[in-house]
Chains A and B, each alone.
Chain A
Amino acid sequence: MNLDDELRAALQREDPSPGFTQRVLAARMVAHAQSKPARKAAVPRLFWATAMAAMLVIGLAGLSEYRQKKAERAGHEAVLALRIAAEKLNMARDKVVRREN
């Protein structure tokens, strides 16, 4: 008897019981289903990140608009002040001219 050959014969591969592949696939489905909530959790994170980015852009745009309007209003007020000052000067000049005459 050759021990090597006897060992090879004794330890040769054998198949598991019928249905083993199906049981592994069923367990795989369970594992797959359990890993899905992790994927779903990634969606709200992406949603919130996008929403926050959008709010930031809208906020910056609003601030820019506000500053522009404030500058325009200041410009109009300056022009109005110059007009009033010019009218006052004209009135003063007219009074001086009248007294001299």
Chain B
Amino acid sequence: MLTQAVAANVSEAMTDDPDQFAELVREHQAMVFSMACRYLRNPALAEEIAQDVFLQLYRKLPALESPDHVLHWLRWVTAHRLIDHSRQEKRRPQSPLEDAPEPAAPSRDADPLLADMLRELVAALPENARVVMILRYQEDLDPMDIAQALDMPIATVKSHLQRSLAILRDKLSRRKGVGV
């Protein structure tokens, strides 16, 4: 465990040293970009938001005390950034998942198609439920960690997970040849 003084020096060095900051970006870019990409289903916009998150990290770095702190901060900021973005998005009206068009029925062997359909269904979930599902299945966090990452009661997290899984099962079971 780093002391605060040492951690401050490490953070300062990272802020001043482009190579160390680049290393930090490389270490976490897949997590931040994938969260944004799964949430938005738009790789270009996801990269733009991921870039903003890392610039925010650059400014915040002196206050972050350890690698774990950096990881938790990145998850928290990315999740809230995505939720804020979709709430501010006026041009893309949100529609409930029940109204979403049924995805094309994949065959049993077509796992890439099934994966794409799942990504599409997850991206159509309501904002908070979507972030909860991404943290659960992309980041493999348990409900307690998700609750901490999002400042959300654990009961709410579990409720989002159960409801989202039920919706996904229902949507998938309606397609012939997909049994869940």
* Cross-chain contact B111 with A14 (CB below 8 angstroms): no
Interchain CA distance A92-B54 in the complex, whole Å: 101
* 4 smallest beta-carbon distances between A and B, as pairs: A10-B115, A10-B118, A16-B33, A11-B138
Contact of A13 among B18, B31, B55, B58 (CB under 8 A): B31
A-B pairs with beta carbons under 8 A, tally? 95
Interchain CA distance A9-B118 in the complex, whole Å: 10
Q: Is B83 close to A, CB under 8 A?
A: no
Contact of B118 among A7, A23, A29, A31 (CB under 8 A): A7
Residues of B within 8 A of A16 (CB): 29-30, 33, 43, 46-47, 50
Q: Is A101 close to B, CB under 8 A?
A: no
* Cross-chain contact B50 with A8 (CB below 8 angstroms): no
* Cross-chain contact B22 with A3 (CB below 8 angstroms): no
CB of A13, distance to nearest CB on chain B (Å): 4
Q: Is A96 close to B, CB under 8 A?
A: no
* Cross-chain contact A11 with B119 (CB below 8 angstroms): yes
B side interface size, CB within 8 A: 40
Interchain CA distance A74-B34 in the complex, whole Å: 88
Tell me the B13-62 residues at the A interface (CB within 8 Å): 18, 21-22, 25-26, 29-31, 33-34, 37-38, 43, 46-47, 50-51, 54-55, 58-59
Q: Is B140 close to A, CB under 8 A?
A: yes
Closest residue of chain A to B119, judged by CB?
A10
Interface 1/0 per residue, B132-166 and A, CB below 8 Å: 01100110100000000000000000000000010
